[in-house]
Structure 1
Amino acid sequence: MKKIAIIGAGVAGLTALQTLSKHGCSVTVFDKSRGSGGRLSSKKSGASSWDMGAQFMRAHTDEFRTQLKMWEADGWVAHWDVTPWAINGTQRTASPDDIDRYVGMPRMTGLSRKLLEAADDFITQTRIVETQFNSDSGTWSLTDEDGTEFGPFDELIINTPPQQALPLLPAESQLNEQVSGVHMLPCWTLLLGFENSLECAFDAAFVKSGPISWIARNNSKPGRDAREAWVIQANHEWSERKKDAPREQVQQELEEAFAIATGCTVAASDIWLHRWLYSLPANSSGLGALRDEAHNLTLCGDWCLKPSIEGAWLSGRAAANILTGTHHD
């Protein structure tokens, strides 16, 4: 039985896990966080809860459209019946579209938890800081920041942002150049929870002006806690400029922009500010997954293809197909 290690429990890694486990591989997943999902992240603070990362899933390909329907049938995701608005300054207009948007149930990480069930082992709160490839046996051993060793593994899949993957690559790997050439943009995300509902005509909006790109009423999604909670995501250009700005300044500017966008100036009772340092690739390889055959090493993630849950899913599937020699599930 082939033993495989996956570093990073995001969608790409967990998608690879699905295919590999079906092919009889023994898969161990590592993640530096307490839970799974990567950017399917959820957050609780005070009495409020939010989907902190990816806000929804949508399909551009027939393959992912079929997958979403299967997950929906299993109860892992649900359709979010929302009419997005478009906001420019104080101009707010409904902007209906025919896009089917889905969310994990009962939160975005609900999906990753289900996908993770296929793993032989899930090792959390473990940051792998060193990898060693034994060229004689063709196997990998991994070391975490406490000095604990894991392995040997026949194959290694790295599903992290490129900046975190780079230190784990062998010095002689031909992937180093490709990986170091990918620039990731940050995203500041502000989460606000309120005692009472906001008198706001919409549940989600794409914002065309100011620092914000997206706002959503989290409690409008199926399965969520009923308490009023909003997610405010800054645009990537603004986030890049403010990457190292004081948190108080970032929070204040996003709160002010949120008040302009919604027309609501109600003080939040729960507040959380998060900086996604590696949110979105400014340039992606479009290759699906990156392979170093000489080192039994595969890299995957939405940055290898296109920045979305669908991109991560397709990348993870491509990684698994490389290892199993198949072209589809």
Structure 2
Amino acid sequence: MTTIGIVGAGAAAAAATHVLDTAVPDAEVTVLEKSGGLCGRAATRRNDDRDLVYDYGANYLKSDDERVVELVTGTLDDEGMVDATEPVYTFEESGEVSPGRDADGHKWSYRMGLTQIAKRLFGGTDATVHRRTRIETIRREGGDSGDGRGGDGNDDRDAAWTLVDTDGEEWGPFDVLLVNPPAPQTAELLADAEWESPAREALREAAADVPYRTVWTAVLHYSFPLDRPYYGLVNTDKEHEVGWVSREECKAGHVPDGESLLVVQAGGEWSAERYDADPADNVAELAGHAAEIVGDDRLLDPDWTDHQGWRYAIPEGEADQGAVDAAASEGLYVLGDWVAGEGRLHAALANGLDVGERVAREV
């Protein structure tokens, strides 16, 4: 039996687990997730009192990869899938809105939100998922960790991986380890890893070198409908304090009829500068920007709000593939949108499929 440990329950990890469940049927897969949710930045919240469902991280799933399309519309049950058919418009630093971008193809979510992707992927496997389990230490024991290339006898595979969480509990040993957190958090794990190999330092440096954009998000509810021809607005010149505004009411089942719910995501510079500022002040400022961009002063006064900061939201580069491959030769695979080099949900899912297939070939 092959034992596989996975750190993080993001979209890539969910896709990889889905592949491994079929391709390595005797594998025992254990997923350890630090938060209480699944699917990483493809995050969904509910407000049952107001009958609201909203995707406040990743906004939707694009149909930019045929394998991902087949996964979500064919392999998985597509019951409850919704498609925001309104187009995405653009705005620049001046705030002027124009229909300068096409409808972006499909903009999929679910009535229960984007986290359904990971829930359905994990739920269709025999993997064991432990939430609220933060891994603090990666330990590698045994094997030949000489040059990180596996050697003629593939001795680098004759090792066991053990994980230690913040409560001191040990998990493993695992024959193979998949690591799914954002690149900066992966670099932190590798910096303290008990793994004597040039591959560890090479991968740590590669992960640390991936730049990230910080995003601070406000969610704004209104008891009136907002009559606009678009689903979302994207800032194309990246000079505005706001990077994205979208209307959750365009997703069936997310917002009651006659109401509006805006997801307002600040630009990277504003988000980084105000990440630790008073949330109420941030929400008020973003509501003001939304009112100006959308052109409706009623948006200055939402009747209910929510917020979330994402310090490591969107990778703006990709990891060195040589370092990724060297670590894989010793049984540690990194995966996620930062490995794919594109900070989009479909890219994370596609990378997870790739890594799952690679692990299946190499175990």
In the other structure, the counterpart of 2:150 is none
1:77 Cα deviation from its structure 2 partner: 3.3
Contact 2:220 2:306 in 1 (8 A): yes
In the other structure, the counterpart of 2:148 is none
Alignment TM-score, normalising by the size of structure 1:
0.89
Instruction: Please give the residue correspondences for 1:113-124 in structure 2 after superposition, counting only pairs within 5 Å.
Output: 113-117=119-123, 118-124=125-131
1:201 Cα deviation from its structure 2 partner: 4.6
Q: Residues 212 and 134 (structure 1 numbering): CA distance in 2 closer, same or farther, change over 3 Å?
A: same
- Specify the code of the residue in structure 2 equivalent to 1:133: R
Give the aligned length: 326
- Specify the code of the residue in structure 1 equivalent to 2:356: A
Give me the whole-angstrom Cα distance separating, in 2, the residues matched to 1:178 and 1:71: 34
CA displacement, residues 93-145 of structure 1 (integer Å, 9 cap, x when unaligned): 33462522211342111121101111421101111111211125611121111
1:92 Cα deviation from its structure 2 partner: 3.0
Give me the whole-angstrom Cα distance separating, in 2, the residues matched to 1:101 and 1:249: 31
Residue 144 of structure 1 pairs with residue 165 of structure 2? yes
In the other structure, the counterpart of 2:357 is 321
CA RMSD of aligned residues (A): 2.5
In the other structure, the counterpart of 1:274 is 308
Give me the whole-angstrom Cα distance separating, in 2, the residues matched to 1:65 and 1:286: 27
Q: Residues 72 and 4 (structure 1 numbering): CA distance in 2 closer, same or farther, change over 3 Å?
A: closer
Contact 1:49 1:229 in 2 (8 A): no
1:231 Cα deviation from its structure 2 partner: 0.5
1:36 Cα deviation from its structure 2 partner: 0.7
Instruction: Please give the residue correspondences for 1:153-172 in structure 2 after superposition, counting only pairs within 5 Å.
Output: 153-169=174-190, 170=193, 171=195, 172=197
Contact 1:33 1:126 in 2 (8 A): yes
CA displacement, residues 200-248 of structure 1 (integer Å, 9 cap, x when unaligned): 4533222346211211111211232325211011122332343444434
Q: Residues 18 and 288 (structure 1 numbering): CA distance in 2 closer, same or farther, change over 3 Å?
A: farther
- Specify the code of the residue in structure 1 equivalent to 2:116: G
In the other structure, the counterpart of 1:38 is 40
Task: Find the residue that maps to 1:260 and give its secondary structure.
Answer: helix
Q: Which moved more, 1:170-179 or 1:302-311?
A: 170-179
Instruction: Please give the residue correspondences for 1:137-216 in structure 2 after superposition, counting only pairs within 5 Å.
Output: 138-169=159-190, 170=193, 171=195, 172=197, 173=200, 174-208=202-236, 210-216=240-246
Aligned pair partner of 2:264 in 220, 232, 236: 232
Aligned pair partner of 2:54 in 29, 50, 54: 50
Between the aligned residues of both structures, percent identity stands at 24
Task: Find the residue that maps to 2:136 and give its secondary structure.
Answer: strand
Instruction: Please give the residue correspondences for 1:28-107 in structure 2 after superposition, counting only pairs within 5 Å.
Output: 28-45=30-47, 47=50, 48-70=52-74, 74-75=78-79, 77-88=81-92, 89=94, 91-95=96-100, 97-98=102-103, 99-107=105-113
Structure 2: segments with no counterpart, 5+ residues:
144-157
Give me the whole-angstrom Cα distance separating, in 2, the residues matched to 1:2 and 1:65: 29
Structure label with greater radius of gyration? 2
Contact 1:205 1:215 in 2 (8 A): yes
1:161 Cα deviation from its structure 2 partner: 0.6
Aligned pair partner of 1:135 in 142, 162, 180: 142
Structure 1: segments with no counterpart, 5+ residues:
none
Contact 2:162 2:172 in 1 (8 A): yes
